[in-house]
Structure 1
Amino acid sequence: MILFTPKRPPPDGRTLVDQAVDAIEQAIDARILRPGMVLPSVRQFARDHRLSTFTVMTAYNRLVARGRLQSRPGIDYRVARPAPARPPAAAWEAPQVGPAWLLSDVFADHSMAIKAGCGWLPPDWHNEAGLQHALRQLVRVPVGQMASYGHPLGYHPLREHIAHHLGGYGLAADAGQILLTHGATQALDIVIRTALKPGDHVAVEAPCYANLLQILAMNGVIAHGVPRTPDGLDEDALDALAGAHPLRAVFVTTVLQNPTGASFTMAGAFRLLQLAERHDLLVVEDDVSRELLLEPAPLLAALASTRRVVYVSGFAKSVMPSLRVGYLLCEPNLLRRCAQTKMSLGLTSAEIMERTACQVLRDGRQGPYLRGVRERLGQAHDQTCQRMREAGFEIAHEPGAGLFLWARPRQALDHPGGAIGLAARALKAGIWLAPGAYFYPDRRDEGWFRFNVAYSSAPALWAFFREAARNPE
């Protein structure tokens, strides 16, 4: 059976394997090859079409991977039978807004046309050239160098790079003090599981990173909110809280806080560290957005050393969320215990991802890329704040940098269901909003929302708020 005549040299870059795959697929689609029919053996197909057996074997295996052929090793290849017809997809329904949706389901939900409440950069903002170059370099690495589980602390060259980078911020560290993790969120989980126990009391910012609240709750740790201010934490509230409860730790985001976008001032940082020293509190510093900052800001771990501070960061904001590479830095004894926790939870972290991150960070494209991102975010802040002022929003703070704004539309105060009710209404219109209630330990709903400025330019978003103002439900 002759299905095609190979063209040499291949036209338009279509290799001989590509030509064979296309010919067989066309024969299947035209019903020349029917479901269940046995194909010629690899040697026979190669002789009939004047191809190498390697070319035919590669083509057959590619068609197996695509589900067009079935393979019985050592026996034959035959045309795969079509999969049973699936029932028609149900009509789309808006998901139910809630903490579970915000923290997990939303990552699998691609139905939202406008993601004003999300926590990451748009896909077309990423350093595509740097990432592609890193992946090309990765495929050149011999498989044997990546076949094992890797070091418990993570890929050493990346840890060296991180240590050198942090030195530029005044934080003296070496690679042996750094533990790589599956994202910064896992780093927080590892610290909580290692340094705390069920029933312990901790202070968190109010509002704070929503996933942190879930991690603390799952580990049985009791979280108390301390108001976040544009300068840092409300020190009087933290001092009173430490006097009322046996606090073990305080969790803070130093710069471009999620969700308010606020950054600590130097005075605010010193006051927090003084309180931590007075009450013997472990300070867990979440610092994932520093690379998006326009100007210098305090780094607690550099001011107080890792004796008092556990430093957590990652590359979801500066490189790419799906890379899932984070890290923590702390004093040696705690680091050893954190490494044991990491190994107990899931063995080593993914060295392939760590190698990719290392290559991106060492490539000369990352610096100019980040400068461009900071500029675009600054413009997005200006535009979003202007739209909010025109719409009568209350803006808690205007950082001018980073991803987030914390703002309150008057519609949320008028809406019968508050911000949560307004967010549920927005979902039906294909708009994802992040209600402020999910960022507070006590789930208070005071009408606030977290806005991602990189996703807040769509006219339909502001048309929705205008309509909600005219017709509160």
Structure 2
Amino acid sequence: MTKIEQVIDYIDMQLKSRRLTPSMRLPSVRLLAKELHFSVSTIVEAYERMVSMGIIEARAGAGFFVCAPLEPLILSNIEPIREKSLDPLWISRQLLEASAQLIKVGCGWLPDDWMPHESLRKAIRDASKSSISELVHYSSPLGLLGLRELLARRLYNKAIEVTPDQILLTDSGSYSIDLICRFLLKPDDVVLVDDPCYFNFRALLKVHQVKIIGIPYTAQGPDIEAFKQAIEQYHPRLYITNSGIHNPTGATLSQPTAHQLVSLIEQANMVVVEDDIFSDFETTHSPRFSALDGLNHSIYIGSFSKTLSASVRCGYIVAKKEWIDHLVDLKVATSFSNSNFSAQILYRALTDGSYRKHMEQLKIKLAEAMQFNVQMFEKLQIKPWIIPKAGIFLWCELPTDIDIKKMADYCTENGVVLALGSSFSQSDRFQQFLRFNVAQCMHPDIFSILEKAMRYARHAPA
């Protein structure tokens, strides 16, 4: 490739990544020559060729400007993809498309037989008996009133005091975050996330073309000093986290850390979005930003996809009233409505008296599974980062002599899908980590497969 072709290729990538958009001015000839370490004449020739190709145009006395149409939003153009096994979008697709026979020990949901099938069937039957208008019409902009009233009562138990008109129903937790990002962010804004964090946070933020900064996560919450430094250096707009049970570590936020963070967030005039979809797994309540600051600089989101059904798509956003009004407008513009039928099913499943019993039994099963997994991992020299108080995740470190990628390949060939630690982080800190779902690890074959995989992936002694 000639130097001129390299310049054209460089500009083409800027266009595909949307760093350059229609009518934007290109770097001056001298500036780009200095940046790429090419001669001015090379840049001039490359620009002239792009003018003849109809990609850019020259404006007398002003420079060169993009005249090509906006490129389609292809996420792989925004950020170089590392190995496929570490790409959040690839991981999600593989888990969602995996056959029922695969053992998904790293996934974020419970096994089918741990879910309340009969309660769901009954809720569906009851919802199907609703009036014709409820079965076929769009929902109101805020969503089913009865469900919002129920959610307001449930939130009161977490010390989050809201009225039903401060709750907006959506079709999922992920869509809730997307809607909030549309409302609060513009390209190149800075968003703080935990390091490690749920991998789809980064995938979703990538769509919004923002700068993502990872804050080291500790057993008590994000590192306060690192959080302060990030505020001073980057002036972030948002912080997105799991304030209850953290994904992937299983940690819970401590009271002192929560209070310090609320103060920092208020001083920086930024917003924290707390994704609390694992809330009902808790045995004791941890602090919530929304309770501590009264939703002044916080937005709370939730769903029941982990405890009731991922197929019945229904999430919700809780925020101050004026923000909910604007979010309703965005919801109408982007999805018009949400699934009224899903909301009806969810409302009935939560109010028929069986949900509380289901969760009590589920917490006992998860506690037993957690204890069993910790014991079995200890035999394999797989070390949990912490022993979580509740939830489904164990964040584990493997011995340094294990080739994680080789181990993952072996497991895949033998019907086991792992969640590699590096996919939860932009840093190199977690290359020897795996996220395990303790409920999915109750499969009778899993530990023998892991043992064989580790033996296969172990480096030979020097």
TM-score calculated relative to the size of structure 2 = 0.78
Q: CA deviation at 1:284?
A: 0.7
Alignment of 1:241-320 (within 5 A): 241-320=230-309
What corresponds to 2:433 in structure 1? 448
Identity of aligned residues (%): 27
Give, in whole Å, the separation in 2 of the partners of 1:447 and 1:289. 25
Q: Which runs of 5+ in 2 are unaligned?
A: 1-82
Q: CA deviation at 1:191?
A: 0.6
Q: CA deviation at 1:280?
A: 1.7
Give, in whole Å, the separation in 2 of the partners of 1:443 and 1:328. 33
* Residue among 364, 367, 370 paired with 2:359: 370
Q: Is the 8 A contact 2:134 2:340 kept in 1?
A: no
* Residue among 204, 221, 244 paired with 2:193: 204
- The answer as to 2:150 corresponding to 1:161 is yes
One-letter amino acid of the structure 1 residue matched with residue 435 of structure 2: R
Cα deviation digits, residues 320-376 of structure 1 (max 9, x gap): 111121101111222122222222222101000000000111111111110000000
One-letter amino acid of the structure 1 residue matched with residue 85 of structure 2: V
Q: After the TM superposition, which segments of 4 or more aligned residues of structure 1 sit over 6 Å from their partners?
A: none
Q: Is the 8 A contact 1:381 1:400 kept in 2?
A: no
* Residue among 384, 402, 407 paired with 1:422: 407
Cα deviation digits, residues 139-165 of structure 1 (max 9, x gap): 211222332211111111111110111
Q: CA deviation at 1:115?
A: 1.1
- The answer as to 2:219 corresponding to 1:219 is no
- SS of residue matched to 1:323: coil
Q: Is the 8 A contact 2:303 2:316 kept in 1?
A: yes
Q: Is the 8 A contact 1:213 1:441 kept in 2?
A: no
* Residue among 461, 465, 471 paired with 2:450: 465
Query: Relative to 1, partners in 2 of residues 1:240 and 1:363: Cα closer, same or farther, differing over 3 Å?
Result: same
- SS of residue matched to 1:295: coil
What corresponds to 2:140 in structure 1? 151
One-letter amino acid of the structure 2 residue matched with residue 97 of structure 1: S
Q: Is the 8 A contact 2:238 2:271 kept in 1?
A: yes
Give, in whole Å, the separation in 1 of the partners of 2:413 and 2:305. 29
Q: CA deviation at 1:415?
A: 4.0
Cα deviation digits, residues 6-28 of structure 1 (max 9, x gap): xxxxxxxxxxxxxxxxxxxxxxx
Q: CA deviation at 1:460?
A: 2.8
Q: Which runs of 5+ in 1 are unaligned?
A: 1-94
What corresponds to 1:14 in structure 2? none
What corresponds to 1:436 in structure 2? 421
When the two chains are superposed, the root-mean-square deviation of aligned CA atoms in Å is: 1.7
Cα deviation digits, residues 260-281 of structure 1 (max 9, x gap): 1111111121111111122222
Q: CA deviation at 1:109?
A: 1.6
Q: CA deviation at 1:422?
A: 2.6
- SS of residue matched to 1:406: strand
- SS of residue matched to 1:328: strand
Query: Relative to 1, partners in 2 of residues 1:460 and 1:282: Cα closer, same or farther, differing over 3 Å?
Result: same
Q: Is the 8 A contact 2:283 2:390 kept in 1?
A: yes
Quick check: 446-455 or 331-340, which moved more?
331-340
What corresponds to 1:31 in structure 2? none
* Residue among 91, 94, 97 paired with 1:105: 94
Alignment of 1:328-343 (within 5 A): 328-343=317-332
Cα deviation digits, residues 384-440 of structure 1 (max 9, x gap): 011111111121111142111100222xx3344xx3443233111110110111111
Q: CA deviation at 1:445?
A: 4.7
Count of residues paired in the alignment: 375
What corresponds to 1:228 in structure 2? 217
Q: CA deviation at 1:96?
A: 6.3
One-letter amino acid of the structure 1 residue matched with residue 205 of structure 2: L
Q: Is the 8 A contact 2:85 2:420 kept in 1?
A: no
What corresponds to 1:88 in structure 2? none
TM-score calculated relative to the size of structure 1 = 0.76
Give, in whole Å, the separation in 2 of the partners of 1:370 and 1:98. 33
Quick check: 250-259 or 334-343, which moved more?
334-343
Give, in whole Å, the separation in 2 of the partners of 1:470 and 1:289. 34
Query: Relative to 1, partners in 2 of residues 1:310 and 1:420: Cα closer, same or farther, differing over 3 Å?
Result: farther
Give, in whole Å, the separation in 1 of the partners of 2:202 and 2:134. 39
Quick check: 282-291 or 392-401, which moved more?
392-401
What corresponds to 1:87 in structure 2? none
Give, in whole Å, the separation in 2 of the partners of 1:459 and 1:145. 45
- The answer as to 2:375 corresponding to 1:386 is yes
* Residue among 99, 105, 110 paired with 1:116: 105
- SS of residue matched to 2:274: strand
Give, in whole Å, the separation in 1 of the partners of 2:427 and 2:412. 24
What corresponds to 2:7 in structure 1? none
Q: Is the 8 A contact 1:252 1:286 kept in 2?
A: yes
Query: Relative to 1, partners in 2 of residues 1:257 and 1:444: Cα closer, same or farther, differing over 3 Å?
Result: same
Give, in whole Å, the separation in 1 of the partners of 2:261 and 2:241. 10
- SS of residue matched to 1:456: helix
Give, in whole Å, the separation in 2 of the partners of 1:408 and 1:457. 19
